[in-house]
Structures are given as C-alpha cells and as structure tokens.
A and B are shown apart, each in its own frame.
Chain A
C-alpha cells in the first residue's frame, strides 16, 4: 500500500498522544518521506522512436506515460535520452503533458539542434510547483524543430552503437 501523508499536527501541552496519532504522524509520514509518490519508466529492447511532426505529439502514449497520486506540492519531472535528427541542422524539442496540458508551453521545455546527425544526449529536470493533491498523468512529448528531417529517440533496441536506455520519471518532492 502506498504511504499516506497526514498534515502534521500542532501539539498542545498535556495533549494525550494516542496510538493513532503516532501511527499517522510518525509511522505514516516517515514512510511517505522515505517512499514519496513516484512513477518511473525506463525503456529496454523497444524499437527506436521517430517522428517528423512539427507540433508536439506523444512519444508513446502507452509506454512513456506516468501516473501517480500526489499529496499536493511540488513535483520533479526528469527525462534523459539519446536523440538524433536525420537532417543536418535539424533538431528536436521536448515537453511533458501534465493532465493534458504541456508544462513547458510554446516551444517546450528543451530543444536541441543536431548539427551532424549524430546521436547526442538530451535531458531535463522540470519542477512543477504547487501541484494539487490527487491523481496525475504525464506524457513525454516531442516534435522536430526547424521543420527539418525526422527526430529519433534511442530506446534500447539493440541499434548498432546506439543501444541507449532513456528514463522518464516523476517524484513528489515537497
């Protein structure tokens, strides 16, 4: 069972501390801090992904998707992976759709120009502030930039010299 967060009590003088208080305030809250809501995806032995889309689209709505229930607060969202574009001076942009809305807006959280069509790393750590408590869904999104070529994401697919394993995860941190 996932740890549950309880709003800390303000203790009063001569207050009777009950078993329920200790279990909720110490056991449950320490358990929550040790194991906060987290969703994690790492790809292995999939096919590499590719898109020529000029607008943000899901990389993989089923596999590169996170779902977690938060207690309310800040959420850290992390992605790293190896990408390339088939066109010189092409590139790619990345963003995350949180409950259907991109958190980066505009051209996304991060973009990369890939000068020589070689695999190169892309990563970001994004902080979502003051996220309401409840269940949330996140999807990694991408598009090609400069309207050139197609962008590839290595997915641990045994691709020669590019058998890289991207990670996409989110954790409530406050």
Chain B
C-alpha cells in the first residue's frame, strides 16, 4: 500500500492509482489514517509493506509528527521495520535535513540516496558553510539515465515490475540494456549494503 503526501496529483498516485491513498498531512484525520493504518494492520498479523512518499514540502511536517507521536517506538514494539530513504540534492539545506532526520531515528534504517540525474555537479560549500556540512555517507546511487530512457520510465504507463517480467518489449535493445543496467546497479548496491 502506498501513501502519497503530494496533493498536486503529480506524485506517485499517478503511477499506482489503485494502490495509493493521498494523505493531507495538515489534517489530523489523515495523520491518524496514515500512521494508525500502518501500526494496526501490522498488529493484526497481516504482513503488508507500506511506502510513504513524502513530498519535499511536507518533509519537516512528516518527521515532526513521526517524532512527536513516537511512531518509531510504536513500530518497533509491534515488529514493523521502518526504512527511511532520503534522496539528497547537493545543497546545504538538503544535507542538513538528511542529518537532522538521521539524528531522530533510533531503530529505523536510514539510507541516503543520491540521484545522479539531478544536479550532477558535486557540492562545494562556501568557506563559511564548510563547518556546517554534516558528515553523510551516500548508501545508494541512482545512475543518471539518458534523456530518451528517462522519458520512457517517467511515463506513468511504464512499470519496472512489468519490465522485469518481460513487458515493454517494444523498447529497442539499447534502451532495454540501459534500464537493466540501472536496475542491476541498484540491486547490487542494496545487496552489498545488506
């Protein structure tokens, strides 16, 4: 099950409309639905994976609620594993946010993700900013795809799962190879990290 905090309609709900529920984090009723659903279902003995897509504008609010209500402790008590994947961009604000989130997590796994398709130039802090740059290790790199392949995977009709199962066979060999390489690379990094 997927929760999408991006209310613009352009978020992950676009790709998985049947599996996704939009969450307005400014509403307590939606906060209750989001966090209680994850904990209650798990305590019912059913094993369901949840993905919460936290939009950049809701990041602070999400983790404030996450921390205030003690979600991590509740999850730990019922055996729900929490993995936080934070996609950084090369800005001081993004790096500081990553560090802040990492610091509030106790039992959760924190993965720093770098999307190489975004802001390819490495981050160079101004001299006065240098002391503020947190020490972060990137756990997962998402390699940049060619513009042609990026356009294909960005299409909401495209599905990685279907691709792996042999679907999307209209793509030419080079494109298929590029997508396979991309997926394999992600898979290998996760496997090694594990």
A, B bound:
no
Residues of B within 8 A of A (CB): none
Residues of A within 8 A of B (CB): none
